[in-house]
Amino acid sequence: MMNSQKKQTLIWLAVILFVTLLVYSPGFKAEFTNFDDNRYVTENPMVWSLSGENITNIFSTYYDGHYHPLTMLSMAIDYSIVGMKPWLFHAENIFFHLINTLLVFFFIRKLWGKFDVAVIASFLFGIHTFHVESVVWIAERKDVLFAFFFLLSLISYLEFLKKNSWKYLVLSLVLFVLSCLSKGQAVALAPTILAIDYLKDRKLLSKNVILEKIPFFAIALFFGIIAMQAHETFPYLGKTEVPLFDRIIYACYGFILYIGKLILPLNLSAYYPYPSGSPGTVDYIFPILAIAFVFIIFWQFRKNKPLVFSMLFFFFNIVLLLKVFQVHLQTGKFVIADRYSYVSSIGFFFLVGYLYEKYTAKYHSKKILLTAILSLWILVMSVMTFNRSLVWNDSITLWNNVVDQYPELSWAYGKRGLAKAARNDVKGAIEDYTLAIKYDPDDPHAYNNRGNIYASRLGDLELAMKDLNKAIEVGPKFFEAYSNRGLVRFYQNDLKGAMEDLNFAIEVMPTYAVSWFNRGHVFSASGKFDLAISDYNEALNLNPRLKQVYLYRGIAYNKTGNFRKGLDDLNKTLEENPKNILALQNRAETFAGLKDLNRCIEDLNKVLSIDPRNVKSYFDRGNVLYWKGAIPAAIKDYLKVTELNPENSDAWYNLAVAYKDTGNKEEACRCIKIAEEKGAKINREVFNLKCE
């Protein structure tokens, strides 16, 4: 029979997991968002394969200015199972959060030995609204994964302290490494175990304690250096110009804000911009509060170890994320982030559980009241968490929420503009990009994105060039803007300018596949088809999902006379879209090159069934029919060309040839005359036809 304590534990854990699963249930139906889900999954070739070569690449390469190979590997596993479907990515995040909720319970119970404290801490961890970003945002697989190994490492360390068995210390170190391989934030585990030693009344300056900690701090230092090196590999556009004194003020502001939102998570946002302007008089209250926090630690250091431990746990796991150090533009304009609270909040939840257990034991008459207040708090947050999960449903709902709270935040309008463009809401996208520029005239992304949509959706190359020039002016190393401007210059037949832009884009970011793809077009237009094929190959190597490459590489192969390879590429294009007119026309040319005229005509027939006014296909089919000896049918196609485009001198000339071959001298002469009027140069003697 199960003893009552074990039964009670299982019941409480079941309740906690059920409620946690319920409040995060909207996450199962959420889509990918354009808030880094594109960088980590939908546009990231590193997660599209589980080959040995790719796994090696995951562990040996910095990506997007970070190094978290275990996170990338977990996403690659998801992709190998469901492809580009978001449900499994979300489900795995929620699964890890549920496991982490259990681990918080076991960690706190092993740490403090009080059942009520462990239940409260794990319940709050599971349902707290501040954690929605870490759980429902696919890109934050980093959080739930690093926390999983982080908590296991702490539990193993506690087991080491209990049993004095070195195998648990070694296991704790291994799990620490795995946590660091999931997210660099895990380096905070090293000082965290010192806080545990403090709570457990160990002598912090004893030889054994110091020797135990050396490998932990060595690992933390090693991965800290890796994180800094990875950060420098990304071509950031610049650095935020925030003076050191202001950064200290804002760090204190952020620190207090984290605590406030743990108490009552109101007005949560995917992005919290710095307050506008320099810190004012009222902002100096935050350093005072932060100093008070430190003062409490020193004041209570020997008197109230659970209180100090909770504060140290929170502080150690948040301090490196407070933006004191100079940071890059893309990562430096937000003062706090919900995701940074995921592990640090455990210290706060432990304190809540400790205070509840302490005061209900001391004041029995107040237990019902305190339990009611705690239950109400949990209930309110559960509802808030459910609603907050709905906000992360897709890019539009996410950025609508940010814009509602920060109506002058340029970055949010830019992101929402991208989401609208993806939904073919061109007008809405341009409106949002324009608002982004209004609120931040130096936002290179907004200019780049608006310029791109002017070129690709509206065909307005003049407006596109104006925006792309401005994007490059404010972001001199903005490789995407150079790549887009290179393509616009290609459309304007400025092949030299296009090549300069694309060469620079590739130099700055050689892993950006689109630049190679665009440069391939320039080489093709210059008649350098072998170089074009080489660039198309590199584009596909960098991004195998860039399937439009197959069409243009197939065309380039045809130009080199390699019709077999051209046919393979064009077939791949038509597998994706059987009604791709350009692919059908070029495959028809491929079949002509392979002397398979029947299949050539079949493809041209398909084009004309899709577009009955396609002049080129009538002309090409007329030529093929003429070669096959079906001259009356060829004449019919040439006549259709002259009907659709009377200025087509080649069609009039071919009609003259066809009529001549049928013996219709009168029509042949009429067509020769019209062809000459339309600009065709005809040698009458070679034509061997006497016309009056």
Backbone torsions φ then ψ of 102, nearest 5 degrees: -65, -45
Question: Per-residue pLDDT for 493 more than 90?
Answer: yes
List domains and CATH numbers for the chain.
4-391 (no CATH), 615-692 (1.25.40.10)
The mean pLDDT of 566-579, rounded to a whole number, is 94
Q: Is the pLDDT of residue 1 over 60?
A: no
Contact 119, 348 (CB under 8 A): no
State the pLDDT at residue 2.
65
Residue 235 has pLDDT above 70, yes or no: no
**Closest C-alpha among 585, 589, 573 to residue 615:** 585
CA distance linking residue 652 with residue 671, whole number of Å: 5
Which of the given ranges, 37-46, 224-233, 410-419, has the highest pLDDT on average? 410-419
- Asked whether 338 and 268 are in contact (CB, 8 A), the reply is yes
Tell me what the mean pLDDT of segment 639-667 comes to. Answer: 93
A 10 A CB-CB count for 390 gives: 15
Phi, then psi, of 301 in degrees rounded to 5: -55, -40
The single-letter DSSP state of residue 451 is: H
SS3 538: helix
Contact 32, 86 (CB under 8 A): yes
Spatial neighbors of 664 by CB under 8 A, at least 6 apart, are none
**Which DSSP string do the residues of 575-613 spell out, in sequence order?**
HH-TT-HHHHHHHHHHHHHTT-HHHHHHHHHHHHHH-TT
Coil, strand, or helix at residue 689?
coil
Helix (H, G, I), strand (E, B) or coil at 614: coil
C-alpha distances out from residue 563 to 144, 523, 591, Å: 51, 19, 8
- Dig out the tokens for 113 from the structure: 């030995």
Q: pLDDT for 121-167, tens place per residue?
A: 999 999 999 999 999 999 999 999 999 999 999 999 999 999 989 99
Structure tokens at 561: 């006379």
Place of tokens 């630690």: 297
Stretch 573-586: mean pLDDT: 94
**pLDDT one-digit tens code per residue, 353-398:** 999 999 998 888 888 999 999 999 999 999 999 999 999 999 999 9
Q: Give me the amino acid identity at 349.
A: F
What is the residue type of 455? A
Mean pLDDT of the chain: 91
Tokens of 650: 């080649």
Q: Is the dihedral of CA 637, 639, 644, 650 positive or negative?
A: positive
Secondary structure of 26-78 as H, E, C letters: HHHHCCCCCCCHHHHHHCCHHHCCCCHHHHHHHHHCCECCECCHHHHHHHHHH
Residue pointed to by tokens 């008197």? 303
Among 70, 76, 339, 75, which Cα is nearest to 181's? 70
Check residue 523 and give its pLDDT. Answer: 97
CA separation for the pair 453, 440 (Å, rounded): 19
How do beta strands 272-273 and 334-336 pair? antiparallel
Yes or no: say if 74 and 44 are a contact pair by the CB < 8 Å rule. Answer: no
Q: Work out the average pLDDT over 561-567.
A: 95
Q: pLDDT value at position 301? A: 72
Distance CA 592, CA 598 (A): 9
What is the structure's pLDDT at 331? Answer: 44
Could you tell me which residues come within 8 angstroms of residue 383 by beta carbon, excluding any fewer than 6 positions away? 23
Alpha-carbon span 660 to 668, nearest angstrom = 5
CA distances from 318 to 125, 198, 343, 411 (A): 16, 19, 9, 25
CA 546, chain centre distance (Å): 16
pLDDT in tens, 161-215: 999 899 999 999 999 999 999 999 999 999 999 999 999 999 988 999 999 999 9
Identify each DSSP E strand in 154-295 by its residue range: 272-273
Mean pLDDT, to the nearest integer, of 502-508? 96
Question: Token pair for residue 527?
Answer: 């008649």
Closest C-alpha to 387, from 33, 144, 136, 93: 136
Lowest-pLDDT range, 432-436, 462-466, 475-479? 475-479
Q: What is the DSSP-derived secondary structure letter of residue 272?
A: E
Using one digit for the tens of pLDDT, what is the confidence trace for 305-341? 999 999 999 999 999 888 776 544 444 478 899 999 9
Q: At what angle do helices 548-559 and 529-542 cross, to 10 degrees?
A: 160
Amino acid at 529: F
Q: Tell which residue, 509, 332, 515, 323, has the closest CA to residue 411.
A: 332
Tokens representing 101 are 């909720």
Sign of CA dihedral 236, 237, 243, 248: negative
The length of the chain in residues reads 692
What is d(CA 199, CA 23) in angstroms, rounded to the nearest whole number?
33
